[in-house]
Amino acid sequence: MDDLLAQLTNLSMTPGLPGNEGPVRELIKKHWQPFIDEFRVSKLGSLYAYKRGEEADPPGVLITAHMDTIGLMVAGFLDQFIRITAVGGVDPRVLPGQLVHVHGKRKVAGVVIEHPRTSDLDLAHLLVDTGINENELREIIRPGDLVSFANQAVSFEKNGVCGAAMDNRASITTLTHTLAILSANTHAWDVWAAATVGEETTGEGAATAAYEIKPSLAIIVDTTFGAGPGNQTHETYPLRGGPTLGWGPTVHPVLFDTFREHADRLEISYAIEVMPRRSGTDADIIQVAGKGIPSMVISIPIRNMHTAVELVYMADIIQAGRLIAEFIQDADHNLLDKLHWEA
Amino acid sequence: MIIKKQTNQTLHIREKQINLLERLSNACGVSGDEAEVRRIVLDEIRPYADEISVDTMGNVLAIKRGQGGKCMRVMLAAHMDEVGFMLTHDEGKGIFRFAQVGGVNSHFIAGKPILVGPNHIPGIIGVTPIHLTKKKAQKRPIPLDDLRIDLGLDNNHNIKIGARGAFATRFRKQDNSLFGKALDDRLGVASLIELLKYAPANIDLLAAFTVQEEVGVRGASVAAYQCQPDMAIVLDSTPARDIPGDSDRESKSYNTHLDAGPAIYISDRGTISDPRLIRHIISTAEAEGLPYQIRQPGGGGTDAGGIHKQKGGIPSVSVSVPGRYLHTPISIARISDWESTLRLVYSSLLRIDGDILASPR
Amino acid sequence: MKSLLEKLTAIPGPSGYENRIRSAIQAEIEKYTDDFNIDGLGNLIAHKRSLSSDSKNILLITHMDEIGFIVTNKDKSGYARFTNLGKVPPASCPGRQVEFLDGDRGLIGSSPDLKNEDFVQLEDMFIDFGMIDKQKLPVKIGDIAVFAPSFADIGDCLVSKAMDGRVGATILIEILRRINKSPNEITMIFSVQKQVGLRGSTAVAIDNIPDMAIAIDVTPELKHPNQASNGVKLGHGPGILLKSGRYIPKASVKNALEHAANSENIACQHVIRENDESEAAVIQKSYAGINAGGLCVPCRYQHTAAEMVNMDDISNTVELLYTVIMEPNLFTES
């Protein structure tokens, strides 16, 4: 548990913005190294990690979590201040006063401020002040450079972690735990763990992973809305209540039932997350890739999504990781047969 | 080798076809849970197809090969799913919050009966009585957030969140009109079953009974990937908004008219139909003396949206039966429109030869 | 190049009906390409092979289609109602002449007397065919039109309809004319239906995955006073795409374009746009992933009957692309 918490803390403070996921990818590779047979980096920068199954020529399961986070990009300059634009779905209300790192020729710290003349809270009216004079600034920073949130992760009691990027580093850590359990046990199926790029932008990581890996089924791990201030209870899920199991047109009902059976048997608490139309995750892309990939969505509840103070509890991550490992260990050819819709 | 000569049959809508449509319309298949409709489709087509498979998403793919050498591979698609609801939050005492699945017309749902789950448990979309409603709110449609699904106090069937609900409408025929829920697209499904039964010998007919069209045309792209057709015709149903406007103002956006025959699509929000196929179908109608109308370009979409963008590009067109009040509890369509749609598509298939796509788009 | 651009902008090619402009482009490129084919949606895919066996492979994509109009109704008073093919701002329309694919001309009605609210939406507008007998409308539902052609020199710039849709093609044709022997494999895609949601680029099959893909298009010059994004300006050179909506191009392509620009002293700008889409995004996420980026020509009054571009921007875009293509390693190792 402590190891995993330290890993998540580290992940939360390592940048991995769309187009420049290198730093977080290297860290994830380090975390997964002890459990993986082969690593590959995709054309677009996703990390594919292959763990061989016991069976000869078995089906493959893809377990995937996106490693990119939302952030900002340098759009231009206004005197000694930096103009910014969003990368992914950024919430402008939480930006003023936020400490950030601007990744130019070197990493530079700055604070997001509001242009005093405006009343509308819009990214177009926010600036970053680095304290560096204009000439020197333009030597170090250029339009297109990426900007990440610079929070220190904070620990809460009962193994809560609060910081930037829990969406989706909490899910990455979930996969790390799954891989660790799989390593200590046996599994018949091949496993592909993918830390994908571009979920916050165009979904390019999910599309290209589905194309390249072509698994028999996929488990997508993402974060979901944890019950918290200002939220309605019917749209959120309790923290420390376990992961959520997705249900809706994007999820294969047999996969849902299988996961629920395992969770009940292991006494893992969970909530059912209904997704009446789309899931809002990479599963939307993966399910309909090529000839279709039966998919399951497992989500970790976090509070304050898409801010730099996302709160998650290790208990939920560990339960989720364990549940996925259990599913994979149990997977056999019966499962593939059960996935057939009645013919 | 004796090639069976294709006689141009005349397809009819008679009691048999209407009974099939009745079963299909009464079956519940809200997007993502098309099982009940799929069972009927599989039972009907089994004696007629060369090969049948059900893919990863639940699409039914059936092939009836043509005769006499290499034939044009023609994909015909109709979607099995209907719009409906999903229970999202249990408030206790039989009351549930719910979400729409697909574009349900929310002005038409307050105070309507529904059927929940595979066992068709009765429920209702309940409302606060008008007596207890503030004057201002009485004149406005009820916001979806204020509506609830009511299963009665006891919920003895243990319905849980995630269960799907469909309108409880029972199908009926009255003179030349058909009343039912989900005519979009059980009309298309019934037509496709009929076309498979009488599959022309000059083409390879790749029938795709698709899932999840109403939630973003999701099944069709997976189906097209597997079919790899040369061209596609989508059989759907499209709104006829041919109702006189307020104070008899001319209805500008009627989309289609009832009694005017099959609606041919030139452009909707998801697809610009292939002009070669449009020309082919129109010239077929004119040659055979069949009625047709051009669906007003603009909004809406069909499975063609997911099919035509497959790698390589698949020339596609949609032909729909017009229907009033689609996506509401009770839709109305004309038997005559359905019959002429079926005949037009059938005749168009018979007239397909190697030249249809000879010149580039 | 100016006369080529003038010729291409005059040819109608609305989304979904690009065959005429495609034939014109095909006629221009035939003698400079090794082979080409047309796919199921009408995309034109041309290849120029290289002479060496270990060459790199570059893909260039630009769309041929322009925005257009489609008749939805013939109303009782004898006018045609219409809707858009692609993004047609309502403000672009009143008083404009339109040309139908079969040659008929019409005029989108307007009136100085009516209030602005009468022309807010396209569905409030109508096309007038100048028929005294109002029942003799020459069009039917589904007929398609584009803005009538009107090419002009204004100051340092050129103005016409369909600059968005033809500038890119002009650039690629010019490059093909210039190349004699190419060290790299070149695939050029003249795509269809970009204006209605990038459908041509989504459907186009790519047989040989390239080392680099560049989408060439126009980009709007924004004129809001409080803009935060780095405003693109006419006459300040080709724009290298940094962000388009949610899409972020690959750094390797961005860097290659900057390197090429530096090596030839071509002044460039950066393009960051909040809402527009780029075909580069579609190419980037296709198959197992392709390194893609965008190169843009600044354009004022995009999606109107009078889009304004600067010829020097176009020439410099040609120079820049030519430099990248002729570099044996496509600047990918820099």
Q: What is the pLDDT of residue B166?
A: 97
Residue C117 has pLDDT above 70, yes or no: no
Q: Which of C73, C76, C198 to mutate to test the interface with B (most CBs of B within 10 A)?
A: C73
∠ CA A304-A307-A311, rounded to 5°? 45
How far apart, in whole angstroms, are the C-alpha atoms of residue B203 and residue C138?
37
Distance from CA of B59 to the nearest CA of A (A): 9
Distance from CA of C307 to the nearest CA of A (A): 25
Q: What is the pLDDT of residue C136?
A: 83
Q: What is the pLDDT of residue B1?
A: 40
How far apart, in whole angstroms, are the C-alpha atoms of residue C252 and residue A339?
42
- Which strand (E) or helix (H) includes residue C123? none
Q: Do A287 and B218 touch (CB under 8 A)?
A: yes
Chain B hits for C71, CB-CB cut-off 8 Å, are: 297
- CATH class of domain segment(s) B15-82+170-350: alpha beta
Q: Do A277 and B102 touch (CB under 8 A)?
A: yes
Instruction: Using DSSP bridges, classify how beta strands C105-108 and C44-48 pair: parallel, antiparallel or unpaired.
Output: unpaired
Identify which of A69, A191, A95, B282 has the alpha carbon closest to the alpha carbon of residue C140: B282
Q: Which of residues 222-241 of A touch B (CB under 8 A)?
A: 233-234
Name all chains with 3 or more CB-CB pairs below 8 Å to chain A: B, C
Of B55, B218, B222, the CB nearest to A249: B218
- Residue bearing tokens 């369909």: C162
Chain A hits for B100, CB-CB cut-off 8 Å, are: 276
Distance from CA of A89 to the nearest CA of C (A): 8
Tens digits of residue pLDDT in C123-172: 888 999 988 887 788 999 999 999 999 999 999 999 999 999 999 999 99
Sequence ranges of the domains in chain B: 15-82+170-350, 84-167
How far apart, in whole angstroms, are the C-alpha atoms of residue C227 and residue A230?
32
- Which strand (E) or helix (H) includes residue A49? strand A47-51
3-class SS of residue C17 = coil
Chain A hits for B54, CB-CB cut-off 8 Å, are: 340-343
Q: What is the pLDDT of residue C223?
A: 64
Q: Which of residues 142-181 of A touch B (CB under 8 A)?
A: none
Distance from CA of C245 to the nearest CA of A (A): 9
Q: Which of A21, A43, A199 to mutate to test the interface with C (most CBs of C within 10 A)?
A: A43
Mapping DSSP onto H, E and C, the string for C188-248 reads EEEECCCCCCCHHHHHCCCCCCCCEEEEEEEEECCCCCCCCCCCCCCCCCCEEEEEECCEC
Chain C hits for B216, CB-CB cut-off 8 Å, are: none
Chain C hits for B250, CB-CB cut-off 8 Å, are: 75-76
Tens digits of residue pLDDT in C3-35: 999 999 999 999 999 999 999 999 999 999 999
Q: Provide the angle, in degrees to the nearest 10, between the axes of the packed helices C2-10 and C19-29.
A: 150
Instruction: Using DSSP bridges, classify how beta strands A60-66 and A71-78 pair: parallel, antiparallel or unpaired.
Output: unpaired
Tens digits of residue pLDDT in C193-210: 999 999 999 999 999 999
Distance from CA of C228 to the nearest CA of B (A): 32
Q: What is the pLDDT of residue C330?
A: 81
Chain A hits for C206, CB-CB cut-off 8 Å, are: none
Token pair for B59: 């699409």
What ipTM score was computed for the predicted complex, to two decimals? 0.94
Q: Which of A234, A236, A252, A277 to mutate to test the interface with B (most CBs of B within 10 A)?
A: A277
Q: What is the pLDDT of residue A120?
A: 73
Q: How far is residue B354 CA from its own chain's centroid?
A: 29
Are C241 and C249 contacting, i.e. CB atoms less than 8 angstroms apart?
yes
Which phi and psi angles does B178 have, rounded to 5°? -115, 130
How far apart, in whole angstroms, are the C-alpha atoms of residue B88 and residue A275?
9
Nearest CA in chain B to A341: B58
Which phi and psi angles does A16 have, rounded to 5°? -160, 70
Q: Do B88 and A274 touch (CB under 8 A)?
A: yes
Token pair for A76: 């231009």
How far apart, in whole angstroms, are the C-alpha atoms of residue C243 and residue A299?
29
Chain A hits for C254, CB-CB cut-off 8 Å, are: 144
Name all chains with 3 or more CB-CB pairs below 8 Å to chain C: A, B
Are A80 and A133 contacting, i.e. CB atoms less than 8 angstroms apart?
yes
Q: Which of C285, C290, C332 to mutate to test the interface with A (most CBs of A within 10 A)?
A: C285
Q: Which residues are within 8 A (CB) of C12 and not within 5 positions of it... i.e. 6 or more apart?
A: C20, C21, C66, C68, C99, C101, C145, C146
How far apart, in whole angstroms, are the C-alpha atoms of residue A160 and residue A315?
8
How far apart, in whole angstroms, are the C-alpha atoms of residue B282 and residue B293?
9
pLDDT tens, chain B, 361 aa long:
444 444 567 899 999 999 999 999 999 999 999 999 999 999 999 999 999 999 999 999 999 999 988 899 999 999 999 999 999 999 989 999 999 999 998 889 998 999 999 999 999 998 777 777 778 777 788 888 889 999 998 877 889 999 999 999 999 999 999 999 999 999 999 999 999 999 999 999 999 999 999 999 999 999 999 999 999 999 999 999 988 865 555 667 889 999 999 999 999 999 999 999 999 999 999 999 999 999 999 899 999 999 999 999 999 999 999 999 999 999 999 999 999 999 999 999 999 998 999 999 9
Tens digits of residue pLDDT in C44-68: 999 999 878 788 999 999 999 999 9
Are B276 and C147 contacting, i.e. CB atoms less than 8 angstroms apart?
no
Q: How far is residue A311 CA from its own chain's centroid?
A: 14
Edge-to-edge strand order for the sheet containing A47-51?
A38-41, A47-51, A190-196, A60-66, A217-225, A295-302, A244-247, A271-274
Residue C227 has pLDDT above 70, yes or no: no
Chain B residues with a Cβ under 8 Å from any Cβ in chain C: 250, 252-253, 266-267, 272-273, 275, 294, 296-298, 308-315, 360-361
pLDDT, averaged in runs of 10, over chain A (343 residues): 91 92 97 97 97 94 97 93 93 92 96 80 88 95 95 91 94 98 96 96 97 98 91 88 97 98 97 96 97 98 92 97 98 90 73
Distance from CA of A102 to the nearest CA of C (A): 16
Q: What is the pLDDT of residue A50?
A: 98
B84-167: CATH homologous superfamily?
Peptidase M42, domain 2 (2.40.30.40)
Are C194 and C200 contacting, i.e. CB atoms less than 8 angstroms apart?
yes
Other beta carbons within 10 Å of C23: 14
How far apart, in whole angstroms, are the C-alpha atoms of residue B78 and residue B64?
16
Q: Do C41 and B313 touch (CB under 8 A)?
A: yes
Contact of C196 with chain B, judged by CB distance below 8 Å, is answered with: yes
Q: Which residues of B are catalytic?
A: 213
Q: Do A144 and C291 touch (CB under 8 A)?
A: no
Q: Which DSSP string do the residues of B131-157 spell out, in sequence order? A: GGS-HHHHTSPPPGGG-EEE--S--TT
Q: Which residues are within 8 A (CB) of A15 and not within 5 positions of it... i.e. 6 or more apart?
A: A23, A24, A69, A71, A101, A103, A146, A148
Q: Do B54 and A342 touch (CB under 8 A)?
A: yes
3-class SS of residue B51 = strand
Q: What is the pLDDT of residue C180?
A: 84
Q: Which residues are within 8 A (CB) of B136 and not within 5 positions of it... i.e. 6 or more apart?
A: none
Q: Do B218 and A234 touch (CB under 8 A)?
A: no
DSSP code, position C136: -
Average pLDDT along chain C: 92
Q: Provide the angle, in degrees to the nearest 10, between the axes of the packed helices C251-263 and C311-326.
A: 110
3-class SS of residue A29 = helix
Edge-to-edge strand order for the sheet containing C307-310?
C152-154, C157-160, C307-310
pLDDT band at C115 (very low <50, low <70, confident <90, very high): low
Q: Provide the angle, in degrees to the nearest 10, between the axes of the packed helices C163-178 and C311-326.
A: 40
Are A127 and A141 contacting, i.e. CB atoms less than 8 angstroms apart?
no
Q: What is the pLDDT of residue C236?
A: 94
Q: What is the pLDDT of residue B4?
A: 44
Chain A hits for C288, CB-CB cut-off 8 Å, are: 42-43, 208, 211-212
Count CA atoms within 13 Å of residue C66 on its CB side.
36
